[in-house]
Structure 1
């Protein structure tokens, strides 16, 4: 079993990365393979609503000239996904959001390949905006029917300069519990793999609120 984490911070060894290391150490101690892909320092285009992922259904995004498509196979094969972002203006870092918008659109357009995998999110923040950013990351996981791994508090860790997050005692404890809980859920998923529903068992119904008859 393997968990792939996405580091959405521009700093490869900053507090977001170190927070992921804390979770990863717990996962590895529970026999779970762990890998981090660092995308926060890349120039990543946002979704342009071209619809090519839905038309071609080849598991790729229609925007070919950046980093997303190179990472999709590893993320698709993983049993667990962790989304990790710093907080910029009380929200998800821009490159991370662009990456996730397109990644999860590709998943939904290709049989929802994240469905019933185990997902978790964590946030590194200097002072405030952590809960709002964590909520935004969790939207991706819950929308795609993933099994959400949680902890004994919100998985938000505080620090400014690289390494300070490790001095946030409660934050570190929260991340360690998250790692243990995620490992347990992955093992439960593996033990019941034969009962996992097939992708797209239920066809999604999509509507909007514009009514032509009210003009």
Structure 2
């Protein structure tokens, strides 16, 4: 299968980076093809709801990192969203990418994709990820996509925290099981 990983963390050695690394290791060992799109490194303008993408054949008015992402997105079987939790939601980098899906709504809604979420946060409250989970569920429902797995890592403020936890192993196993 073709797997697209969309990384929304600007921290190259952070907690989500380790989960992403371990997931990729497991998925590669299982024989899957992996592409990585680093949303924290690419310039992705926020959608401004101008509807230019609906009015003509030129697509979005912004010519930016989405031109790199879209071909990978269209060709993928599985999309993995990798994000730290920022104020009970996804990172700005992931949100900007998802908002820009608007330019390809019809096409994306006709592509039955499977999705996985890898997310981490420093907080330890059991309900910390609730808003993020509900937001993602609403997006998947709208797009007609199916979530097939997730790792939500609570209490992982520092790299050392996640290295001492079983979350990297969970991410590895999730990738390996595909």
Question: Secondary structure of 1:9's match?
Answer: coil
Whole-angstrom CA distance in 2 between matches of 1:17 and 1:61: 30
1:92 matched residue in structure 2:
90
Question: Secondary structure of 1:48's match?
Answer: coil
**Deviations 1:32-76 (CA, angstroms, capped at 9, x unpaired):** 011221112455332111112223356x42222x32222211121
Residues 112 and 37 of structure 1: is their aligned pair in 2 closer, same or farther, counting only changes over 3 Å? Answer: closer
Query: Deviation of residue 127 (structure 1)?
Result: 1.3
Work out the number of aligned pairs and report it: 174
Matched, 1:61 2:60: yes
Over aligned residues, Cα RMSD in angstroms?
A: 2.3
Q: Which has the higher contact order (CA 8 A, sep 6+)?
A: 2
Question: Secondary structure of 2:118's match?
Answer: strand
Query: Is the Cα–Cα contact under 8 Å of residues 86 and 125 in structure 1 kept in the other structure?
Result: yes
2:163 corresponds to which of 162, 166, 186: 166
TM-score, with structure 2 as normaliser = 0.83
1:119 matched residue in structure 2:
115
Matched, 1:46 2:46: yes
Whole-angstrom CA distance in 2 between matches of 1:32 and 1:9: 23
2:129 matched residue in structure 1:
130
1:80 corresponds to which of 75, 78, 81: 78
2:153 corresponds to which of 141, 151, 157: 157
Question: Secondary structure of 2:69's match?
Answer: helix
2:26 matched residue in structure 1:
26
Query: Deviation of residue 101 (structure 1)?
Result: 0.9
Query: Is the Cα–Cα contact under 8 Å of residues 35 and 72 in structure 2 kept in the other structure?
Result: no
Residues 105 and 126 of structure 1: is their aligned pair in 2 closer, same or farther, counting only changes over 3 Å? Answer: same
Could you tell me which runs of 5 or more consecutive residues in structure 1 were left unpaired when the two chains were aligned.
184-215
Structure showing greater radius of gyration is 1
Query: Is the Cα–Cα contact under 8 Å of residues 5 and 37 in structure 2 kept in the other structure?
Result: yes
